[in-house]
Amino acid sequence: MTEPIRILVVDDHNVVRQGLVALLNTVSDLQVVAEASDGPEAIETFRKHKPDITLMDLRLPKIGGADAITRIREESPSARIIVLTTFDGDEDIFRALQAGAKGYLLKGMDIDELTEAIRAVHAGKSKIPGFVAEKLAERMGGPALTTRETEVLKRIVAGRSNKEIASDLFISEATVKTHVNSILGKLGVTDRTQAATTALQRGIVHLD
């Protein structure tokens, strides 16, 4: 009999995590060996248990999922990590896959889809659903925002005026206007409201 696939489940919601663990442990060739509820714990737990597969939520306390994936793969380049999240914005997807995730699943998929993904990634394949690949292609095709533009966009989403943004970032209002115009162009929108909506839909900015 072959050894079961050893799994680490990382999710900050106890009920979700416990439900996943219970579900996975009913499958004969899978075995949950450890759990973690935040980024630092995920990194430490991976280091300790060296699981075959890690199921990683993206929105985690202390260190986010994408950053946790990056750190785990810096130590263990062969780590096989599947993102399991409620977020399907193209920026979320891009960050996670850029960090080295081998799969991307949305919570709400059925157990068969999840187990199939785990087995596929364990076998060395990637598991990226079609709609995720489309969003990623959109993200790769469009011009990326600079770090400063992202900082300005976060403040637009928070409802800050140009004057307030200038004060926050210690830059002139004229510079803020230049950044805003560049952001609108890159996002393909015509005003600040559309920019804020698009930023949230695509996962460029998250409301905490």
Task: Note the pLDDT tens digit of each residue in 6-36.
Answer: 999 999 999 999 999 999 999 999 999 999 9
Please report the pLDDT score of residue 145 as a whole number. 87
Whether residue 176 is found in the same domain as residue 119: no
Count: domains in the chain: 2
Spans of the chain below 70 pLDDT: 1, 87-88, 90, 137, 139-141, 208
Whether residue 121 is found in the same domain as residue 153: no
User: Distance between CA atoms of 135 and 118, rounded to whole angstroms?
Assistant: 22
Please report the pLDDT score of residue 28 as a whole number. 92
Range of the domain at 178: 147-202
Please report the pLDDT score of residue 208 as a whole number. 63
End of a domain among 96, 117, 140?
140
Helix (H) or strand (E) holding 202: helix 192-202
Full-model pTM: 0.72
Q: Is the dihedral of CA 12, 14, 18, 19 positive or negative?
A: negative
Whether residue 183 is found in the same domain as residue 113: no
Q: Is the dihedral of CA 137, 141, 143, 146 positive or negative?
A: positive
- Residues 6+ away with beta carbon under 8 Å from 168: 155, 160
The CATH number that applies at residue 196 is 1.10.10.10
Give me the amino acid identity at 86. Answer: T
In a domain, 207, yes or no: no
